[in-house]
């Protein structure tokens, strides 16, 4: 990392816009003022985790903070569990390890995947884009299924990597790692989660791949991905009808019944649907029917359902062989085949498996044996 340089012009300008001094930045990031001064004077560059945190503080992409021609570090995003604190340094190391698998992926290296033209956070653009994307996913149907999303991810050269990271032990529900050098997107999907958010996470990361770098600020891109994912999963005409149904029972004990029925039908979180309905209510000049009350309702509602992993495996935890089989058959992943070929070609150890997939030593050993046969 020593040969990399910060984009000091952008860094200083953004600090000035936000009224942040070196002391302010140091306090927010939990480092000394001396270290921040060395960054600002071009003497040192933050470690990967601090580089990410600095970008978050300044609402800048890592590619904006580091000189463009020298950006090679993995770009990490995640859907974290509530109250958890993901280890971004660990995720960055996973990304660096995954670079070894890129040459083993069956991608056409001379063509870029399709993307959205001139994306905008305007409501008209989001609704139009949602309508177009829905047509490619399910034709004239209402419910988007996981299989359709997996197919689109393959077309976008997204490497979906299903993993079993536990329902409570792991800090991520989903983890996205983008490798700028190879321009490959790796999305780790924790199958040990409740089903109602699962499609939203896949869609969110899929949209990131379609608009990466198109927005000047991280927050704008996140806002776009959230809004478009919701619009795809909950079509506007359906949300309008649901609002009308809700208004009929708004003052009764059945206030949330239409919302929860819609969630069961679409297999989409009540929170995602409620946000769509509330937005339409605001556009009509009506008080949103759900607001923050939907969060407690959703927490109780989720207790009705098992884990996504229960839908794919007859017994839990599954064997490493079953995990690989289901990952390839249901999610079309290239990751495990690429990893197996890499291990056989290089003679790499179980440690490589642990580093690339974020697994414990025990789980890495089981996957290693399933891939190389010894």
- By the 8 A CB rule, do 91 and 175 touch? yes
Q: What are phi and psi of 190, to 5 degrees?
A: -75, 115
H-run or E-run covering 176: strand 172-179
Q: Token match 């297999």: residue?
A: 267
Phi, psi of 233 (to 5 degrees): -75, -30
Q: State residue 90's pLDDT score.
A: 83
**Parallel, antiparallel, or unpaired: how do β-strands 184-190 and 75-80 relate?**
unpaired
Element (H, E) at 186: strand 184-190
Any idea how long the chain is?
374
Q: What is the pLDDT of residue 45?
A: 82
pLDDT of amino acid 80: 64
Q: What are phi and psi of 359, to 5 degrees?
A: -105, 160
Pairing of strands 184-190, 158-163: parallel
Q: Which backbone phi and psi does 240 adopt, to 5 degrees? A: -65, -45
- What does the block give as tokens for 317? 């935890």
Write down the pLDDT at residue 51.
Answer: 82
Query: What confidence score (pLDDT) does residue 42 get?
Result: 83
pLDDT in tens, the chain (374 residues): 334 578 888 888 889 889 999 999 999 998 899 989 988 888 888 877 788 889 889 988 877 887 755 457 788 877 765 555 666 778 888 999 999 999 999 987 767 788 898 999 999 999 999 999 999 887 668 999 999 999 999 989 999 999 988 765 556 788 889 998 888 999 999 998 889 999 999 999 899 989 987 887 778 888 999 999 999 999 999 999 999 999 999 887 788 999 999 999 999 999 999 999 999 999 999 999 999 999 999 989 999 999 999 999 999 899 999 999 999 999 999 999 999 999 999 999 999 999 999 888 999 999 999 999 86
Quickly name the fold that domain 8-69 has. 434 Repressor (Amino-terminal Domain) (1.10.260)
Q: How far from 32 is each of 35, 67, 106, 283, CA to CA, in Å? A: 5, 24, 46, 47
- Element at 189 (helix H, strand E): strand 184-190
pLDDT score, position 86: 62
What local confidence, expressed as pLDDT, does residue 10 receive? 86
């Amino acid at each position: 990392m020593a040969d990399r340089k910060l984009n000091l012009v952008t860094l200083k300008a953004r600090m000035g816009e936000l009224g942040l001094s070196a002391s302010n930045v140091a306090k927010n990031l939990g480092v000394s003022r001396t270290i921040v001064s060395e960054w600002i004077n071009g003497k040192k560059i933050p470690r990967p985790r601090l580089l990410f945190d600095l970008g978050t503080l300044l609402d800048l992409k890592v590619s904006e903070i580091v000189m463009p021609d020298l950006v090679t570090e993995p770009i990490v995003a995640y859907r974290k569990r509530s109250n958890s604190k993901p280890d971004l340094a660990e995720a960055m190391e996973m990304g660096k390890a995954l670079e070894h698998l890129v040459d083993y992926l069956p991608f056409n290296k001379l063509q870029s995947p399709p993307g959205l033209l001139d994306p905008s956070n305007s409501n008209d653009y989001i609704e139009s884009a949602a309508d177009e994307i829905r047509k490619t996913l399910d034709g004239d149907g209402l419910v988007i299924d996981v299989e359709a999303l997996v197919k689109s991810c393959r077309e976008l050269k997204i490497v979906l990597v299903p993993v079993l990271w536990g329902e409570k032990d792991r800090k991520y529900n989903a983890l996205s790692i983008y490798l700028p050098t190879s321009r490959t997107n790796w999305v780790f999907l924790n199958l040990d989660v409740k089903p109602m958010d699962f499609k939203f996470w896949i869609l969110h990361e899929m949209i990131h791949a379609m608009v990466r770098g198109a927005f000047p600020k991280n927050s704008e891109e996140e806002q776009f991905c959230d809004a478009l994912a919701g619009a795809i999963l909950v079509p506007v005409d359906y949300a309008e009808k649901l609002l009308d149904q809700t208004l009929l029972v708004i003052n009764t004990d059945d206030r949330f019944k239409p919302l929860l029925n819609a969630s069961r039908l679409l297999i989409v979180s009540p929170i995602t649907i409620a946000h769509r309905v509330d937005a339409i209510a605001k556009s009509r000049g009506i008080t949103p029917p759900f607001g923050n009350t939907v969060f407690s309702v959703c927490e109780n509602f989720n207790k009705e359902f098992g884990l996504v992993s229960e839908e794919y495996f007859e017994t839990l935890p599954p064997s490493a062989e079953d995990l690989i089989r289901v990952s390839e058959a249901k999610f079309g992943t290239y990751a495990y085949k690429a990893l197996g070929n890499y291990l056989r070609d290089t003679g790499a150890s179980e440690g490589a498996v642990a580093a690339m997939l974020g697994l414990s030593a025990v789980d890495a050993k089981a996957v290693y044996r399933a891939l190389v046969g010894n």
